[in-house]
Structure 1
């Protein structure tokens, strides 16, 4: 669907994220790209790479889920709003309080990001 492609085009790329948790700030890198017509992604941080699941884009609002094992084993749900090369929102781990998420898109061309 063309509308979905237009919406996700602004999300594709490499993003540097900061998650402000009650125990401190956690830095992560998230990469969104189109594969076989679907939007996919991977998050890197704390020595692990994890796939993103259930990526949904509705205008500037983006949600996804991911599981991590470091520093704790958690299932995380992200909800952010993307505006140009910045994003803001929250991450939630189960019943724990939401953590503020901020991010900026890397400006390195896609071929050089890897």
Structure 2
């Protein structure tokens, strides 16, 4: 399964819905990624794909300084799961992979 691409994420958190973009790809055979949101660009760490389970960690400073741990299940061009920040309750995460230019479906 390939998770490479640009993913639009939505997280339902206690402070409201947060939108972010995650870019995933392979560099020298290693899965790498970067998250973009709230004016920040953050590298993903401990990135792992085991079957359809994708996990990673990232540190953010906006809207709060938090260390987040994500665990999502990938199903084709969609994903769903949770994000956890320390002792705070888990937040639901959903996402959709952006179509590559020129591959959009015609109506």
Query: Runs in 1 of length 4+ with deviation above 4 angstroms?
Result: none
**1:54-73 counterparts in 2 under 5 A?**
54-73=46-65
Deviation of 1:25 (Å): 0.2
* Gapped regions of structure 1 (runs ≥ 5): 1-6, 110-114
Match in the other structure for 2:24: 32
2:63 aligned with 1:94: no
Deviation of 1:36 (Å): 1.6
Deviation of 1:97 (Å): 0.2
Residue aligned with 1:14, SS: strand
Tell me the C-alpha RMSD between the 2 structures.
0.7
Question: How many residues end up aligned between the 2 structures?
Answer: 101
C-alpha distance in 2, partners of 1:23/1:67? 17
Between structures 1 and 2, the one with greater helix share: 1
C-alpha distance in 2, partners of 1:85/1:99? 21
Deviation of 1:41 (Å): 0.2
* Gapped regions of structure 2 (runs ≥ 5): 102-107
The TM-score, its normalising length taken from structure 2, stands at 0.92
Deviation of 1:108 (Å): 2.6
2:67 aligned with 1:75: yes
